[in-house]
């Protein structure tokens, strides 16, 4: 028997030796099949922002600020490039204090990222003047432009001129996203109103309740209606009936309306107000009715001295902040990502709010110079998986720019038990923040909870599904929004119409892949194009024939979506065999591979969707830094880093930076 065992061992040794003689390979592709755990879709709706924050004071003179000395720049994406950016906004710190916070965000980001930003704004509320300033900014040929899209119709032409000149444009504070505004800028950074109402509702209903009411001072205002809809949806999800109560501008009559409603519905115990104008009569009602903090639950949008006092005394659970600092900081960050790495914002709307101001953080003191020590724990390392080098470069770059000290922990091989131990190790070091990959929520739940209990801000990156689906109350998950990837990809493919679409899914039943297909099908249906899912397998030969057969049976199919190299590969073989040329049909895919990059270049494939791992690492550090120094919390349970679309226009940049930044 021992002879047999030793022979088996010898055989294994031979195999190992032979195998190790064959060296591992040069050209590699990392598939980004999404983690099986699902991710909630956050691309809810785009949001019109209440523009009128202005308290117009008479401070004349057009303010033009130059942050840092301008430096000569060269065109094209370059990681070391010094960028010259312009920000054009409809109001200024000089005459509206709200904007001081936005401008502070811009300035801090410019400092951190070593870019130059020139802020232009009118000396009083004057949108015609703002339109002129946009043209003025475009004439300066900046590397990026951020604009408050206060009036999309008025600004459409000047912004379009900027885009035509090849200048990347993002909107901040005011806007509704490129789709609703009908201007193809990159993204809008502002509050996601629906999510504000929804998440506020979830917080208010966390401990149950009998009945909820959303007190709306301006029914018919899209933004306010969205807040109420989110609130009502959240409560209904928790099984609590909820409705909207309309009040008016008159505080006295509003107080009476609230009081009468409460008399008629005495079991109402959850109240949401949509700003100081609603909170003010609400507090008066509470006072008159003799209601004490704790009798009912109240949350509100926005902050005022009165609201802050009520948060402190426990009457109000939270005030929802749109986090204007983040609008400025994030705008500069995104334009820097575009200019240096060709990394694009993932969604048409990038939520900067809701940020929740509660009893715990209402007294937060901002300190831009506060030292930040963070820990990051991930399930794989650059040392043994090249995909992670890009993530780690993002971490390194952000830490350097923002002056953050970080410690990166990871196992020396794929070993989730070990990762769980490393999380505990990180918690024991009492860092100011912790970022980790939630590869296995069940296994990591206990260690992550220990970190949260110790008061450490925790975020997830690359792997996870968001705090709600993972059932771990961390702040946010930075990763690809799979549904949005399929949906936005579908919109692109269907932009010029089409007859029939098919989503080629190599693993039906995989939640992440199914979401990609669902997004695609929804987008096409929205455009009136029928679409369905075609299941293929791991066997490329069988898959090729399945696609071919499907095409034979459905010869009018002209829009194809594949979910990664595994689907794209037999698809290209099918095209080849069927004699289809670039232009005969439209094809988009998730992820990149040498083959996909070649096909994007020759026009066969319209785009490859990238999860932008650099941004996952960079964003993780930035998010924790913003939390520690500025008290800014991520707005949404999922902070999308992808889809980032790689097209013929930017494929060269992506290829050049592949492996380091892309």
Partner 1 sequence: MTRRVAAPKPRLRSWLESPVAGPLITFLLIFFLLSFVPNFLTMRSVSGIVNAATLTGMITVGITLLMIAGEFDLSAGALMAVGAFLYGGLTMNGSPPLVALLMALIIPGLLGAFNGLLLVWTGIPSFIVTLGTQFIYRGALWVYSGGIMLQTVQQIPIYDVFNGRMDFIADLIKDANFRTALLWLLGVVFLFQYILTRTRFGNHVFAIGGNPGAAKAQGVNVNRTKVICFIISGVLSGFAGVLLFSQYKTAKIATGAGEELKAIASAVVGGALLTGGEGSIVGALIGVMLISMLRTGIILLNLPFIPADNFEAVVGVTIVGAAILNNWIRSRA
Of the pair 151, 415, the CB lying nearest partner 1 is at 415
Euclidean distance between CA atoms 321 and 356, whole angstroms: 6
Q: Which is nearer to partner 1, 346 or 561 (CB)?
A: 561
| CB closer to partner 1 out of 14 and 366 | 14
| Shortest reach from residue 22's CB to partner 1, in Å | 5
Distance, in Å, from the CA atom of 415 to the CA atom of 424, rounded to the nearest integer, reads 15
Tell the smallest beta-carbon distance from residue 570 to partner 1 (Å): 7
Q: How far is the CB of 445 from partner 1 (least distance, A)?
A: 25
Q: If you write DSSP's letter for every residue of 263-327 in order, what string do you get?
A: HH-TT--EEEE-SHHHHHHHHHHHHHHTPPBTTBEEEEES--HHHHHHHHTTS-SEEEE--HHHH
Residue closer to partner 1, measured from CB, 199 or 569: 569
Cβ-proximal residues to 259 (8 Å cutoff; 6+ apart), any chain:
285, 288, 289
Structure tokens at 220: 């018919």
Give the 3-state DSSP-derived string for 184-247, with helices as H, strands as E and coil as C: CCCCEEEECHHHHHHHHHHHHCCCCCCCEEEEECCCCCHHHHHHHHHHHHHHHHCCCCEEEEEC
Q: Parallel, antiparallel, or unpaired for β 116-121 and 84-88?
A: parallel
How near is the Cβ of 578 to partner 1 at its closest, in Å? 7
Handedness of CA 325, 482, 396, 621 (dihedral sign): positive
- The contact set with partner 1 (CB under 8 A) reads 1, 4, 7-8, 11-12, 14-15, 18-19, 21-31, 380, 384-387, 413-414, 502, 505, 508, 532-535, 537-542, 544-546, 548-550, 552-554, 565-566, 569-570, 573, 577-578, 593-595, 598
Alpha helices in 380-506 (DSSP H): 387-402, 416-428, 441-453, 467-470, 482-493
In this structure, are strands 638-642 and 477-480 parallel, antiparallel, or unpaired?
Answer: parallel
User: Which CB, 19 or 365, lies closer to partner 1?
Assistant: 19
Q: The tokens of 382 are what?
A: 């650059």
Radius of gyration, CA atoms only, the chain? 26
Q: How far is the CB of 610 from partner 1 (least distance, A)?
A: 15
**Cβ closer to partner 1: 267 or 412?**
412
Here the tokens at position 177 are 């996203």
CB of 215 within 8 A of CB of 272?
A: yes
> How far apart are CB 415 and partner 1 at their closest, in Å?
12
Q: Alpha-carbon distance 586 to 507, whole Å?
A: 22
Report the nearest approach of partner 1 to the CB of residue 654 (Å).
Answer: 16
Four-residue CA torsion sign, 619, 32, 350, 194: negative
Taking the complex as a whole, the smallest distance from the CB of residue 368 to partner 1 amounts, in Å, to: 40
| Residue 167 or 600 with smaller CB distance to partner 1 | 600
Among 95, 31, 17, 87, which residue's Cα sits nearest to residue 61? Answer: 95
Cβ neighbours, 10 Å, residue 188: 34
Nearest distance in Å: CB 437, partner 1: 14
Q: Give the nearer residue to partner 1 in terms of CB position, either 344 or 536.
A: 536
The answer, yes or no, to whether the previous bond of 267 is cis (omega within 30 of 0) is no
Q: How far is the CB of 488 from partner 1 (least distance, A)?
A: 22
CB-nearer residue toward partner 1: 202 or 646: 646
Q: Which is nearer to partner 1, 493 or 534 (CB)?
A: 534
| 31 vs 287, beta carbon nearer partner 1 | 31
User: What minimum distance in Å lies between the beta carbon of 55 and partner 1?
Assistant: 57
């Amino acid at each position: 028997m021992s002879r047999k065992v030793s022979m088996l061992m010898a055989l294994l040794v031979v195999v190992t030796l032979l195998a190790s003689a064959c060296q591992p390979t040069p050209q590699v592709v990392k598939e980004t099949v999404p983690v099986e755990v699902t991710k909630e879709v956050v691309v809810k709706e785009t949001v019109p922002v209440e523009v009128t924050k202005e308290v117009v004071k008479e401070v004349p003179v057009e303010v033009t600020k130059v942050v840092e000395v301008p430096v000569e720049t060269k065109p094209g994406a370059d990681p070391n490039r010094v960028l010259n950016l312009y920000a054009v906004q409809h109001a200024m710190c000089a005459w509206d204090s709200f904007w001081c916070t936005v401008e502070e965000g811009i300035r801090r980001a410019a400092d951190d990222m070593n870019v130059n930003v020139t802020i232009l704004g009118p000396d009083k509320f004057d949108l015609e003047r703002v339109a002129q300033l946009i043209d003025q900014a475009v004439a300066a040929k900046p590397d990026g432009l951020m604009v408050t899209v206060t009036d999309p119709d008025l600004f459409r032409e000047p912004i379009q001129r900027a885009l035509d000149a090849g200048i990347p444009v993002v909107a901040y504070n005011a806007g509704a996203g490129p789709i609703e505004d009908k201007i193809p800028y990159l993204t809008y950074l502002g509050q996601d109103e629906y999510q504000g109402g929804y998440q506020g509702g979830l917080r208010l209903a966390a401990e149950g309740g009998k009945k909820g009411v959303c007190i709306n001072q301006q029914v018919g205002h899209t933004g306010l209606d969205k807040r109420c809809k989110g609130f009502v949806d959240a409560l209904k999800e928790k099984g609590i009936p909820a409705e909207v109560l309309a009040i008016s501008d008159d505080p006295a009559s509003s107080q009476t309306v609230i009081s009468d409603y409460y008399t008629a519905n005495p079991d109402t115990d959850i109240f949401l107000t949509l700003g100081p104008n609603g909170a003010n009569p609400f507090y008066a009602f509470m006072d008159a009715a003799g209601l004490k903090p704790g009798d009912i639950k109240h949350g509100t949008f926005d902050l005022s001295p009165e609201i802050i006092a009520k948060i402190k005394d426990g009457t109000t659970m939270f005030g929802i902040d749109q986090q204007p600092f983040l609008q400025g900081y994030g705008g500069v960050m995104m334009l820097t990502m575009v200019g240096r790495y060709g990394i694009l914002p993932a969604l048409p709307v990038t939520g900067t709010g809701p940020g929740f101001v509660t009893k715990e953080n209402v007294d937060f003191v901002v300190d831009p110079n506060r030292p930040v020590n963070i820990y990051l724990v991930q399930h794989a390392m650059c040392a043994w998986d090249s995909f992670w080098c890009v993530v780690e470069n993002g971490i390194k770059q952000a830490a350097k720019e923002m002056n953050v000290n970080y410690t990166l922990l990871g196992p020396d091989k794929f070993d989730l038990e070990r990762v769980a131990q490393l999380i505990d190790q990180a918690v024991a070091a009492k860092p100011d923040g912790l970022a980790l990959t939630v590869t296995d929520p069940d296994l990591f739940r206990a260690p992550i909870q220990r970190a949260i209990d110790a008061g450490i801000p925790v975020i997830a990156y690359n792997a996870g599904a968001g705090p709600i689906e993972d059932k771990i109350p961390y702040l946010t998950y930075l990763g690809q929004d799979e549904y949005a990837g399929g949906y936005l990809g579908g919109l692109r493919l269907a932009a010029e119409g089409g007859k029939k679409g098919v989503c080629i899914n190599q693993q039906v039943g995989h939640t992440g892949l199914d979401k990609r297909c669902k997004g695609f099908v929804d987008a096409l249906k929205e455009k009136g194009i029928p679409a369905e899912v075609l299941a293929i397998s791991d066997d490329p030969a069988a898959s090729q024939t399945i696609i071919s057969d499907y095409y034979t049976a459905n010869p009018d199919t002209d829009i194809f979506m594949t979910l990664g190299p595994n689907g794209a590969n037999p698809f290209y073989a099918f095209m080849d065999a069927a004699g289809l040329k670039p232009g005969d049909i439209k094809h988009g895919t998730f992820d990149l591979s040498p083959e996909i990059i070649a096909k994007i270049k020759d026009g066969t494939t319209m785009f490859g969707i990238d999860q932008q791992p650099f941004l996952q690492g960079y964003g993780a550090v930035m998010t924790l830094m913003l939390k520690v120094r500025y008290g800014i919390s991520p707005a949404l349970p999922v902070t999308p880093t992808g889809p980032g679309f790689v097209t013929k226009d930017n494929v060269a940049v992506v290829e050049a930076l592949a492996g380091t930044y892309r």
